Every structure is written in structure tokens, then in C-alpha cells.
Structure 1
Amino acid sequence: MPVPLPTPSARAVVTGASSGIGEALAWELARRGHSLILVARRGDILEATAEKLRATHGITVEVRATDLSDTRALEMLCAQLADREVSILCNNAGIATFGPLIDLDPEYERAQLRLNATAVHDLTLAVLPGMVSRRAGGILMVGSAAGNMPIPNNATYAASKAFVNTFSESLRGEVAAHGVHVTLLAPGPVRTEEPSPDEASIVDKMVPGFLWDDSAGVARLSLDALARNKMRVVPGVLSKAMSVAGGYTPRKIVAPIVGSFYRKLGD
């Protein structure tokens, strides 16, 4: 059974919709006719994106300015979504830090874990009963190739994405018979456009241009895979290489090599 077609009452939910893959997913879903609920911290950016989506595609777009790392705010959003007809959930929001864990801000690390893992878990729990009862729905989990291996100097992010990767593939086995699709997107580096030299981050400078994937292309590929109920999407050369390394290379070999690269990002 395919994911639900757009209807006036149904909504596709995209978290982290203010930029990057999340914004690209919103535009691709709108192009396919889905009305949306956009979630991110910055309400002003979401409202601007929502206006463009409404004007371009004539769809209904709702905005939820929510910090998903805030426990109370997450609970409120989950309660709202539990009462809505959510046809597609794109669990995309996430942040990353680099450097030795002991040198990083403990509260920010806790917030990162709540955003990257707990929010994914709780939002899925909120919408899943409705999808199962309707015997239709799609959940796109944005994990990471980083979740396939231990990565020193990226410990919280890698661990949180390992949760998303495993949670996605485990849940998929539970709900397949109920008409609900679950697809894991495990990307490498993704960006909307190449920044100017003055605006380039340390990641932009260290990762060669040919290894970056385009966010619009990744969004299109991911939603096509969700429609086909494909288990995992791994776009790009670097993400495929990391997946292979994480699955077949001894961890005592791969961890120091990858960790040294991520240490430079922290510096």
C-alpha cells in the first residue's frame, strides 16, 4: 500500500523545516500536493517559508515554532499531533557538536540528545496510533551515516543517530503489516548551495565539493523511497563509504581515523 495521497484533512509534518533537508522536504511534499505542519525553533523563518509554499502550491501550511529539545514544548506538540490526521511524519530536526565530550557544554549535549533521539521517539509515538488505525501512513527518519560507527569527538551525535537508525529499522518490522511505511535516510554531508569563501564553515572547507549532496535531490530521493517503503536510503559517495566502513571495518581501526577528522572539526 502506498503512503496516503494528499487530502484536505491530512497533514504532512516536517521537523527542522527552517533550512537544509527539512526545508527541502517541505517543498517537495508541497509539490506533491500535501498540506503541511512545519516545525522548527524560528517561527519567523517558518512563517516566511509557509507564505512562499502557500503562494506557490496553493496548499494549507501550519507553523509550529517549537524547540523540540525543550521537554514541555515537545509534550505540547505531541499532544496536538496525536489529535490530528498526520499522513506523513518527517523526523528531520537535529544538531551536532564536535570535539572531546569533556570539553563540550554538558547542557547543550543533553539538549542534543533530547532533540536527536527523544523528540524522534516521542513524535513517532504521538502519530503512530492514528496511522495504524487508518492502516496508512509514512514515517521518514533522518538518521545519519555517522550512526553506523563509533566516532570520537562526535560522541553524542553519533550515538543519537545510532538510536534513530536502529529505532527506524526496528519499528519498520512492527508496522509493515499495518500499512505504515518507515524509511531511514542516512545521509552524509548535505547542503542547499555552495557557500562563498567568506561564509564557508570549517565543514565546508574540509569536505571536498564533490562529496556534498544537494538537499533538494536528497528530499526527492527520500520521499520516493518512502513511497516504495524502502528500508534505507544512503545518498552520496561519503555516506555510502561510511556505511560500508561502519559495517565491515574493525572498529578499533575505523574509530581513530574518523575521530581524528572530527577532532579537526571541533578545533
Structure 2
Amino acid sequence: MSRTALVTGATAGIGLAFARQLAAQGYDVVLVARDTARLEAVAEELTATAGVSTEVLAADLADRAQLATVERRLADPTDTERPIDLLVNNAGFGLKGRFLDNDVEQEQAMLDVLVVAVMRLTHAALRAMAERGSGGIINVSSVAGYQPRGTYSAAKAWVNRFGEWASVEYADRGVRIMTLCPGFTKTEFHGRMEVGRDAVPSFLWLDVDDLVAEAIADFEAGKSFSVPSKRYKAITAVSRHLPTRLLQRFQTLGRK
């Protein structure tokens, strides 16, 4: 029987790389993003290149009603034909400005996508997976979750601790949960924030395909955390021990 993965933010960047690599491994794929045209284009690509079945769910995860449609797709434990075997919670965005420079509704939307959607989709998937006794969840966080870089970092810190707890809590129910913590990655993410590549030293940029390949390997190996590349493993380790005031000196990195 084929396996099915649901990937949010599946039309670009890390989400698209996950969709492509999982399809190449034989997963049927449920693609979630806001742009219907781009979703359909990715679905056609995956069907043509990997020969897998695809399903498109257009949804803005900051909208609670649209988020609910994705929850329903994840939650049905009686769907024996195409249950979701793997959820990749990847959708997200950042804000270039500092907290008081942003409109509070922008901040709310970011919180809704980075935290509320992750919590609700994980809850929906976990219920069905735990009932079946099998399944997996990858929550895409960030090394920023280990650093004081405003509300984005605060949201990712929540994802880190949530995943750390859940991976232990539900292991005996047959569900594997991994938190992925990438650093600066060559995707559309920073371009949408109007942040140039020159805002970050070149050695800190990661290749998205390498990042996702390493993440999938870590997931298959049963790891609860995946931090791609030796340089970001080192940065994460150091960040755990440096004082907040010192770390705050680097909070403008990636905002030019």
C-alpha cells in the first residue's frame, strides 16, 4: 500500500523540496498552500516525474476556516484509502521589521501560521495516527528558535519545545515526531521579506535540496531534532549557552 504525505507551504522552498523528494520515494502527496495555480502546477510536475497521486488543498493557514479544511483532511481515522502517514508542517513567513515597526495584525497572522496552525494540524494528525498506531510528523522550525530575534524566534522556540515534548509523549503510540531547525536557506523566504542574499555571509546559506535530504534521513533514523550542516549544529550549540544581551547584537542579521 502506498504512503501519503501532506506538506504545507508546498509550492516553494523547503516545502516544495519536501514534496519532490517524498514523491521520488513513492509517497502520494497532498499539497497545501494559498496559490491554487502554483499548487496545480506542482501537482502536475510530481505526477509526471514521479508517477504518484497528488491532491491539492488551497488554504491560507492564517484563516481559521481554511485551516479547518486541512485539519479535517488529517483527522479522519476511518479514511483507509488515503490516510496521512506523514505530515510536514512547513508553511511560514517572516517579517522584516522589528516588533513595533510591524502592524499588530501582521504579527497576529505570523503567529497564527507559525504556532496556531502547527498546533492544530499536529493535533488533528496525531489523533488519527495514534489511533492507527503509526505515522510521522515533521515540524519545520528554525535555529532562530534558539536565539532572541523577536516574535519570529519566539514562535519557533515554541515549536522547538512542543516538538521536543511530543516526540517523547507519543513515541509509544507509534508516532514519530521530528523538529527540523534550518538556518538561512536559498529559497523565496527572504526575498518575500525584501531581504537580499548579501544581508548574510555567503557561508551561512544552505542549499534547500541538501537540507531536505538530510532532514528526511534524520527522520528515518528516528531523530527528534534535525539541524542541517555542521556549521548550524555548532551555532545552535553555542546559542544555548551565550547570554541574551550578547546574542541580541546579531538580531539584525538577515534584515538588510
Conservation of the 8 A alpha-carbon contact between 1:16 and 1:92 = yes
Q: Look up the SS of the partner of 2:87 in the other structure.
A: strand
Match of 2:50? 57
Pairwise mapping of residues 27-38 of structure 1 onto structure 2 (< 5 A)? 27-38=20-31
Question: What is the count of residue pairs matched by the alignment?
Answer: 250
Match of 1:170? 165
Which has the larger displacement, 225-234 or 19-28?
225-234
How far does residue 240 in structure 1 lie from its aligned partner after superposition? 2.7
1:261 aligns with 2:253: yes
What TM-score, normalized to structure 2?
Answer: 0.91
Match of 1:123? 121
How far does residue 244 in structure 1 lie from its aligned partner after superposition? 2.3
Distance (Å, rounded) in 2 between the aligned partners of 1:201 and 1:242: 25
Superposed CA deviations along residues 164-198 of structure 1, whole A, max 9, x for unmatched, are 111111100101112211111100011159x9xx9
Distance (Å, rounded) in 1 between the aligned partners of 2:252 and 2:136: 38
Conservation of the 8 A alpha-carbon contact between 2:23 and 2:29 = yes
Conservation of the 8 A alpha-carbon contact between 2:181 and 2:226 = yes
Distance (Å, rounded) in 1 between the aligned partners of 2:92 and 2:193: 20
Unaligned segments of structure 1, at least 5 residues: 1-6
1:183 aligns with 2:191: no
Q: 2:163 corresponds to which letter in structure 1?
A: S
Distance (Å, rounded) in 2 between the aligned partners of 1:247 and 1:218: 22
How far does residue 91 in structure 1 lie from its aligned partner after superposition? 0.5
Pairwise mapping of residues 29-48 of structure 1 onto structure 2 (< 5 A)? 29-48=22-41
Pairwise mapping of residues 152-231 of structure 1 onto structure 2 (< 5 A)? 155-192=150-187, 202-231=195-224
Match of 1:102? 100
Match of 1:233? 226
Distance (Å, rounded) in 2 between the aligned partners of 1:210 and 1:254: 19
Superposed CA deviations along residues 39-90 of structure 1, whole A, max 9, x for unmatched, are 0111111100110100111110001110001111112221232124110000
Superposed CA deviations along residues 208-246 of structure 1, whole A, max 9, x for unmatched, are 322211111111111111111101111135533431232
Conservation of the 8 A alpha-carbon contact between 1:78 and 1:122 = yes
How far does residue 199 in structure 1 lie from its aligned partner after superposition? 11
Say what the alpha-carbon RMSD is for the aligned residues.
Answer: 2.1
What TM-score, normalized to structure 1?
Answer: 0.88
Distance (Å, rounded) in 2 between the aligned partners of 1:138 and 1:81: 12
1:146 aligns with 2:144: yes
State, as a whole percentage, how many aligned pairs show the same letter: 38
How far does residue 24 in structure 1 lie from its aligned partner after superposition? 0.1
